[in-house]
Copies of this chain bind each other. A is one copy, B any other.
Amino acid sequence: MKSKQTSFDIAYRAGVSQSTVSRALRNSPLVNEETRRRVQEIAAELNYKVDKNASSLRTQQSGTIALLLFEDPTNDDSLINPFFLSMLGSITRASAKKGYDLLVSFQQMSNDWHADFEDTRKADGIILLGYGDYTDYEEKLVQLIKQETHFVRWGADVKGLSVVSVGCDNFHGGYQVTEHVINKNRKNFAFLGGVTTGSPEFLDRYKGHCQALKDNNLAVDSKLQIDAVSTDESGYLAAKQLLENGVTFDAICAASDLIAIGAMRAVQEAGYNIPKDIAVVGFDDIATASSTFPAMTTAKQDTVLAGELLVDKLLQLVRGEEAQTQLMPTTLVVRKSCGS
């Protein structure tokens, strides 16, 4: 039971050639029904498994997908954004469903991605996932394209480059949540989240937010927009700053749930009631959103669907087919944080 079994061992016991073993194990139609059964039986008995390295080397395809999770270097080293964690989970599930293994690796945005292209050798394709400054990011995409790597990415559509993306309709999502709060009779809206071109998702949400305000004849006050990255700490700080500004507001639209959670804490600590004094909406619908107090109203990004789309499209690319960028709709999840 000790030393590693090879197809030759199976062949010997089955009394056939090694080629036949290989065929039988891959269910080749070329092999006799009875022979196949016998070979498979013996293989199972000896607990033999095909060596993937050898077979990948031979066929030049690995049956694995690489997931590159990259992060904003400003983030805490030890924590992963729960939204991405949930994407990770659904991608794992989706690739398992397709019979692919998933190789996961972390990457600091600042790193030399050359090291990662290495994964190309171990994987048939790559899924890119993460926030980070978009400007850095773009050159890496160009490089991936130049290398003819099969890859898809999570995020806003990329103008110019021919990259397959799956993302949410952030503009619409921003519009949607803002409109919902407007319908709760709020007039003065703050927005928490960085709105540079470096983070196109947040920017789009902000644009949707502003559009909803305009469509309802409400003012957009730039003093009420405070930059924040997607952590609750950053949201807390941003909300505190907002409070200190002295500008009045009765609603906060946060660019992410994490930001919203931090903001809720700051607002409550300052003695305000949510939603009576201040309504708060998030974006993402991470697991925590349903457990905050009050439970958070937010725009849900469907991570399960996202994971499936990402691997489906990647696999299309791997098979040499065309694949299209796709924008998923967000759905409004109404809970308590904007009133009932």
Q: Is the CB of B117 within 8 A of A49?
A: yes
The distance in angstroms between the C-alpha atoms of A93 and B104, with both chains bound, is 10
In the complex, 6 of the A-B residue pairs with CB atoms within 8 angstroms, ordered by the A residue number, are A52-B118, A53-B121, A64-B103, A96-B106, A103-B104, A288-B291
Given contacts A53-B121, A78-B90, A292-B292, contact A104 B102 (CB under 8 A): yes
The distance in angstroms between the C-alpha atoms of A119 and B50, with both chains bound, is 10
Q: Chain B: which residue is nearest A100 at the CB level?
A: B105
Contact among B62, B85, B103, B105 for A88, CB-based, below 8 A: B85
Is A188's CB within 8 Å of the partner chain B? Answer: no
The distance in angstroms between the C-alpha atoms of A120 and B105, with both chains bound, is 19
Is A304's CB within 8 Å of the partner chain B? Answer: yes
**Which A219-238 residues have C-beta < 8 A from chain B?**
232
B-chain residues with CB within 8 Å of residue A339 when the two chains form the complex: none
Instruction: State the copy count for this chain.
Output: 2
Is A86's CB within 8 Å of the partner chain B? Answer: yes
Is A54's CB within 8 Å of the partner chain B? Answer: yes
20 additional A-B pairs beyond A101-B103, A292-B292, beta carbons within 8 Å, are A47-B147, A49-B117, A50-B121, A51-B57, A52-B118, A52-B121, A53-B54, A53-B57, A53-B62, A53-B121, A78-B304, A79-B89, A80-B86, A82-B85, A88-B89, A92-B104, A101-B119, A103-B103, A104-B104, A293-B293
Is A319's CB within 8 Å of the partner chain B? Answer: no
Q: Chain B: which residue is nearest A57 at the CB level?
A: B53
B-chain residues with CB within 8 Å of residue A96 when the two chains form the complex: 105-106
B-chain residues with CB within 8 Å of residue A47 when the two chains form the complex: 114, 117, 147
Interface centre among A52, A92, A103 (most CB of B within 10 A): A52
Q: Is the CB of A49 within 8 A of B121?
A: yes
The distance in angstroms between the C-alpha atoms of A91 and B304, with both chains bound, is 22
Q: Is the CB of B1 within 8 A of A147?
A: yes
The distance in angstroms between the C-alpha atoms of A291 and B235, with both chains bound, is 13
Q: Chain B: which residue is nearest A232 at the CB level?
A: B291
B-chain residues with CB within 8 Å of residue A49 when the two chains form the complex: 117-118, 120-121
Interface centre among A53, A69, A93 (most CB of B within 10 A): A53
Contact among B50, B104, B146 for A1, CB-based, below 8 A: B146
B-chain residues with CB within 8 Å of residue A86 when the two chains form the complex: 80, 85
